[in-house]
Structure 1
Amino acid sequence: MRHSTFSRFIWTLALFLMFAGTAFTQTEDNFKAIQGKVVDADTNAPLIFTDIVIDKTNISTVTNGQGEFLLKIPEAYLDGSIKISHLGYEKMTVSIASFEDNEKIKLKPAPTKLNEVSLIALPNQDARELVINTLKKKSSIYNNNNTLMTAFYRETIKKRRKNASLSEAVVKIHKQPYNNFRNDHIELIKARKKTDYSKLDTIALKLQGGPFSNLYTDIIKYPEYIFTEESMPMYQFSFDHPTTVNNDLVYVVDFKQKKHISTPLYYGKLYIDAKTLALTSAVYSLNVSNKDLSSQMFVRKKPRRVDVQPKEANYRVNYRTQNGKWHYAYSNISLTFKVNWKGKLFNSTYTLSSEMAITDWKIKDPALVRNKNTLLRPSTILTEKASGFSDPRFWGEYNIIEPEKSIESAIKKIQRQLKRT
């Protein structure tokens, strides 16, 4: 059952009292892995969340927080090319055969050229109505087939800047058509997890929801978690400067809750394709200024002597188009909490992050076939198994999100620990 708009669906934080004192490049028989980095051509700054797609396929990945990517290319496509695209930049196509290992790809910022129609229509169009019309497009411009998606999921917990828990998984998403109201299902394929409870003091933080949390950021499939008939009048919408994606004009709509509304709502930006009114991306945050109400939305269980305050709650979702139809492609979530123990002088800050990227998908017709033995539930907390970290080829031919340096260091540390034991 879906929760109401004002009850939090993403990551219920459970706190329990405890009594407790790799990136690589390879070529195998069936695929080749290439690594690279995408940067701004003018500033050399890394471009985060850049789409890397094998042309004429659904195989893809995204760049990490340092602009780096790892893409595993099946043997059948080695004579093809990859397409690189980023919001506000000119897209680029690179031949796979000419791609050099650890190549730096420089994207040029795309000038926003507003034609006469756009200049007239944009100021006169009501931003709120544009958002409403965008949400109504789910049945016409989004994928309305049963789809089996392969996705990579990563989840981390940090105490201050140190990794305390790292989870990774490959899942199959049984994606329901956008024009119906049936929930998506998630099937677990491979997973590994390692938690260092010594870094969590006497508190164990567990994330309830796992990959479902990221899946529910799909605003088009699950609009009721943010925008409903009840909540829409509580928001103020306005136009920001437009931008481009793949050389197409994109409207940018800012939204935030009205000043007299005390209930924690969201604020952020919606990126809407000017031609189709498709949502191409959304970047938003929860207003956590009301500490008591926002804490109730996240904290499921805690000791009485502990006060938990959310400091930040940030979300992002990206969509991708194929054959004229749009679909969910990537999302990330970052939550920061301050934990105070009554009677203790110092507090602790924890950051809980997750991201999920669609790395391949195919149409399943007429109905999806699910393996009931490996289906996850929305209340899932990923297993504690850590065995996969001992094998640098654990993921095989599955595409993953290239780990950032801090995560890569954590993986290497886990591997050293496993080797000693």
Structure 2
Amino acid sequence: MNRYLLVLSLLTAPLFLSAQQGYSIYKGTVTDRETNETLPYVHIAWSGSQYGTVANEEGAFQIKIPDSNMGDTMVFSFMGYEPYYLPATKKLPQNKKLRIALAPATQELSMIEVSPVDAKKVVQATIKNIPKNYTKRPFLVKGFFRESGIREDTGREFLFAEGVILTHKNQHGDIDRGDYVSLLKGYRKKLQYDLRVDGQTYQLPQVTQGAYIGVRLDIVRDPGFFLSKKRYRDYEYEYERTDILNGKQIYVIRFYPKEGSKQAWLKGLLFVEKEQYAVVKASYEYTKSARAYYNKSEAADILKLQQRKFEAAYFQYKGKWFLKNARIKTKYTESWTSVPLAINMDFIATAVETNIKLDNDKQNIKLDTKNIIPYNRAFAFNERLEKAGDGFWGSDNILERLQQPNDKTEMQNIDSTLFSINIKTTPALPANEKEPAAKTPKPVPQVFLLPEQSPFEKKMENYYLNYLPEKVFVHTDKNIYAGGETIWMAIYLMDGRSHRPGTYSNLVRVELHNAGDEVVAQQNLLSEDGHTSGQFDLPADIVPGEYQLTAFTNYQRNSGDEILFKKTIRIIGGLKESGGVEIEAPVSSAPFSRKKKEKVRLRFFPEGGDCLNGHLCKMALIAENASGRPMQINAVLRDGEGQEVNEIKTGKNGMGSFIYLPVKGKEFYATIEGLGKAYDIPPALDEGFHLGLQHLKQEVRLSLKTNRPKGLAGARITVHLRGRVLIDQALSN
């Protein structure tokens, strides 16, 4: 199997901040603003960048900010809470600690969907979207790893190791991914890796390869996890609730093994971002059957597995999702003594580098192979120290240590019932200052139900779950070309719902059609992260006229030609000998002149789609010449008896509008002085609806009119944006 190999180059330099570089340290604790309880594993990042860290299980954090990044903003984000924005504007005193109080998110009930969701379809859509939500190219992750082991009955540590590591991620989708980890710095605490009970010493087996947790728990890249087309059928799925993260709705899906399945060993929760169908978090554990299977192995002769829990969380950078932190909590009992043991492993990503130079030649690998950690090495860090201070870590961000080694806190699944998409910034308070009391505290609802989805909402949700629409847009350097010139194109491939780059497809076909709909030029272009480029070199003797540029993916063709990208390209000039027809150069958008005897085409567009008899109507129009160029005109609107009703004018862009009152049985037309031609106005409806929009400074005002005898009774209005239903309600008079 050919595999891209990573070559470390100057492109990866931002990952490695020099220990000599100046930096500031921000320390503190993240708490719930209302209860003052600490919040575990809160994500902390520089806004819009690939750098950051994570608070520990007790909510304590420490982040080192290089002097070059002072002035940037740190973002604290946690499921079910409003994001918190903290500008890093000055250095803090060494003993100064911040208390970051996150406010539980609040949101109008009508904006949150808690109605039934087809959990299986959500998982299917998530699997389909993995190629576009997670990069296919190799990348590097700089991170921090910690592993600790304690006797739960006495609290004595028998294992503690931590270090800064570099994880090399190969191409997504390979069964043998070849991901590996190299050591940058780390140490193992001087502890006795054994048990001492009643004067006897019991040796412990080396049960961990924890430095690879960032590989093992990157679940979207793991073919052995159930997020694959083959494995997901082994599980059952249930919709649990809808949560909120950074203003985005998150589907929470419960999964567990299907009855009779012999390949399913996990149960837990999957958190899926509704708009992109991207996994943002997974919290799961071994089933009872999985533990029983493990305890039949040779390893169980010494350690009996009692519990193993996993958690993985992701963050978004440049439209793609990357593993942010992962942890494993395992509980054993020693077989001879029944002593309870707990081993915890934590990994946090502190930087991601996607701009990696690739090479297919194995001879070009420029890695210090002696620092690569073998996958089967139990202890990643051989250096034995009592402890490591800031001097050891330099400018590297690390996970704060817990205050008490014997921490028995269980892994938490936060279940928030209040949500918000409104970003509010709360000033950070020093630890010794109290949060001001709220003036009018709001009651916190514990349980609420929303109305069931309307038929339209169900159809819309089903469409986006099953069809995953894509959009293609082609930007050309101009719209009019001469024979012998080159059409330069930039092609953008986007998700049809979020308009973010990258989709399920990565191959775009671009075609140039003549007036007879024959393909005269075509290209297949490979899209990298939603973008590619191409060109058509036009022959010097190409037949002039209007051509159509069409672009699409094979997946789009399943939905019909009407959704394909189409653009009119005009080609002038050409040779009569080759069948071409000489035409005039395009006319500029100068004011219309009777002396030129130009041909004018008027196109009318009623606001809202139709005008209604008996109601004032706004009519838009476009004036063009024979070459399709905009024209600036002065015209008159007349009724069927020739009486002047209103003036009509267009600007240099050829566009204008006018207002008139349609009357049943009466015709209207427009005339341009000197042309002697009448342009019929589209007829109004005797019975129907008219939808109008008015753009104001702070709002968009919607108006709905009807001339039906029963008025608005029985009508329904729906406002939606790329699948998100904003308004859907029945109307009355």
TM-score, scaled to structure 1: 0.81
1:97 alignment partner, SS class = coil
Partners of 2:205 and 2:394 in 1: CA distance = 30
Q: Which amino acid aligns with 2:274?
A: A
Q: 1:261-298 CA distances to partner (integer Å, 9 max, x unpaired)? A: 566611110000000000000000101356541324xx
1:269–1:283 Cα contact (<8 Å) kept: yes
Residue matched to 1:387: 385
Q: 1:4-37 CA distances to partner (integer Å, 9 max, x unpaired)? A: xxxxxxxxxxxxxxxxxxxxxxx97521111011
Partners of 2:186 and 2:254 in 1: CA distance = 37
Residue matched to 1:185: 180
2:213–2:327 Cα contact (<8 Å) kept: no
Deviates more, 1:256-265 or 1:170-179: 256-265
1:46 alignment partner, SS class = coil
Residue matched to 2:124: 132
Q: 1:331-370 CA distances to partner (integer Å, 9 max, x unpaired)? A: 00011011221xxxx5111111101000012223332853
Residue matched to 2:145: 153
Partners of 2:206 and 2:302 in 1: CA distance = 16
Q: Mark the CA change 1:118 to 1:60 in structure 2 (over 3 Å): closer, same or farther.
A: same
2:268–2:285 Cα contact (<8 Å) kept: yes
1:153–1:171 Cα contact (<8 Å) kept: yes
Q: Mark the CA change 1:113 to 1:186 in structure 2 (over 3 Å): closer, same or farther.
A: farther
Partners of 2:402 and 2:287 in 1: CA distance = 28
Q: Which amino acid aligns with 2:404?
A: S
Structure 2 residue corresponding to 1:402, chosen from 400, 403, 410: 400
Deviates more, 1:28-37 or 1:268-277: 28-37
1:170 alignment partner, SS class = strand
Question: How far is the alpha carbon of 1:92 from its aligned partner?
Answer: 1.0
Q: Which amino acid aligns with 1:62?
A: V
Q: Mark the CA change 1:391 to 1:402 in structure 2 (over 3 Å): closer, same or farther.
A: closer
Partners of 1:135 and 1:57 in 2: CA distance = 26
Question: How far is the alpha carbon of 1:228 from its aligned partner?
Answer: 4.8
Residue matched to 1:212: 212
Deviates more, 1:275-284 or 1:399-408: 399-408
Question: How far is the alpha carbon of 1:136 from its aligned partner?
Answer: 2.5
Deviates more, 1:193-202 or 1:87-96: 193-202
1:85–1:246 Cα contact (<8 Å) kept: yes
Structure 2 residue corresponding to 1:109, chosen from 104, 107, 114: 104
Q: Which amino acid aligns with 2:385?
A: S
The yes-or-no answer on 1:44 pairing with 2:36 is: yes
Residue matched to 2:279: 279
Partners of 1:391 and 1:59 in 2: CA distance = 22
Partners of 2:253 and 2:317 in 1: CA distance = 24
Structure 2 residue corresponding to 1:351, chosen from 337, 342, 345: 342
1:61–1:401 Cα contact (<8 Å) kept: yes
Q: Mark the CA change 1:273 to 1:291 in structure 2 (over 3 Å): closer, same or farther.
A: closer
Residue matched to 1:237: 237
Structure 1 residue corresponding to 2:371, chosen from 363, 368, 374: 374
1:135–1:223 Cα contact (<8 Å) kept: no
1:214–1:354 Cα contact (<8 Å) kept: no
Deviates more, 1:248-257 or 1:174-183: 174-183
Question: How far is the alpha carbon of 1:395 from its aligned partner?
Answer: 0.9
2:277 alignment partner, SS class = coil
Partners of 2:203 and 2:147 in 1: CA distance = 18
Q: Mark the CA change 1:230 to 1:135 in structure 2 (over 3 Å): closer, same or farther.
A: closer
Partners of 1:198 and 1:177 in 2: CA distance = 40
Question: How far is the alpha carbon of 1:113 from its aligned partner?
Answer: 5.2
Q: 1:388-411 CA distances to partner (integer Å, 9 max, x unpaired)? A: 7265521111110111113499xx
Structure 2 residue corresponding to 1:309, chosen from 304, 307, 313: 304
Question: How far is the alpha carbon of 1:242 from its aligned partner?
Answer: 0.6
Question: How far is the alpha carbon of 1:80 from its aligned partner?
Answer: 1.5
2:129 alignment partner, SS class = helix
The yes-or-no answer on 1:170 pairing with 2:158 is: no
2:165–2:185 Cα contact (<8 Å) kept: yes
Structure 2 residue corresponding to 1:57, chosen from 49, 52, 74: 49
Partners of 2:89 and 2:405 in 1: CA distance = 30
Partners of 1:137 and 1:294 in 2: CA distance = 33
Matches within 5 A, 1:260-339: 260-261=260-261, 265-288=265-288, 291-296=291-296, 301=299, 306=301, 308-339=303-334
Which structure's residues are more often helix, by fraction? Answer: 1
Deviates more, 1:383-392 or 1:88-97: 383-392
2:291–2:307 Cα contact (<8 Å) kept: no
2:205 alignment partner, SS class = strand
Residue matched to 1:419: none
2:304 alignment partner, SS class = strand
1:243–1:252 Cα contact (<8 Å) kept: yes
2:24–2:66 Cα contact (<8 Å) kept: yes
2:293 alignment partner, SS class = helix
Q: Mark the CA change 1:291 to 1:280 in structure 2 (over 3 Å): closer, same or farther.
A: closer
1:237–1:255 Cα contact (<8 Å) kept: yes
For structure 1, the residue ranges without an aligned partner over 5 or more in a row are: 2-26, 410-421
Q: Percent identity?
A: 20
Deviates more, 1:277-286 or 1:257-266: 257-266
1:262–1:290 Cα contact (<8 Å) kept: no
Q: Mark the CA change 1:262 to 1:177 in structure 2 (over 3 Å): closer, same or farther.
A: closer
1:208 alignment partner, SS class = coil
Partners of 2:406 and 2:47 in 1: CA distance = 29
Q: CA RMSD in A?
A: 2.8
2:357 alignment partner, SS class = coil
Q: 1:241-278 CA distances to partner (integer Å, 9 max, x unpaired)? A: 11000011000000112344566611110000000000
Residue matched to 1:8: none
1:351 alignment partner, SS class = strand
Q: Which amino acid aligns with 1:359?
A: T
TM-score, scaled to structure 2: 0.48
Q: Mark the CA change 1:113 to 1:188 in structure 2 (over 3 Å): closer, same or farther.
A: farther
Q: 1:88-116 CA distances to partner (integer Å, 9 max, x unpaired)? A: 11001011126863111111111365657
Deviates more, 1:379-388 or 1:134-143: 379-388
2:393 alignment partner, SS class = coil
The yes-or-no answer on 1:196 pairing with 2:183 is: no
Residue matched to 2:572: none
Structure with more relative contact order (C-alpha pairs < 8 Å, separation 6 or more): 1
2:149–2:159 Cα contact (<8 Å) kept: yes
Partners of 1:244 and 1:331 in 2: CA distance = 20
1:130 alignment partner, SS class = helix
1:41–1:108 Cα contact (<8 Å) kept: yes
Q: Mark the CA change 1:311 to 1:34 in structure 2 (over 3 Å): closer, same or farther.
A: same
Deviates more, 1:262-271 or 1:188-197: 262-271
Partners of 1:401 and 1:173 in 2: CA distance = 17
Q: Which amino acid aligns with 1:210?
A: G
Q: Mark the CA change 1:116 to 1:387 in structure 2 (over 3 Å): closer, same or farther.
A: closer
1:30–1:75 Cα contact (<8 Å) kept: yes
2:288 alignment partner, SS class = coil
2:213–2:326 Cα contact (<8 Å) kept: no
Q: Which amino acid aligns with 1:249?
A: Q
Partners of 1:352 and 1:65 in 2: CA distance = 15
1:152–1:168 Cα contact (<8 Å) kept: yes
1:284–1:315 Cα contact (<8 Å) kept: yes
Q: 1:293-347 CA distances to partner (integer Å, 9 max, x unpaired)? A: 1324xx5546xxx453211110000000012211111100011011221xxxx51
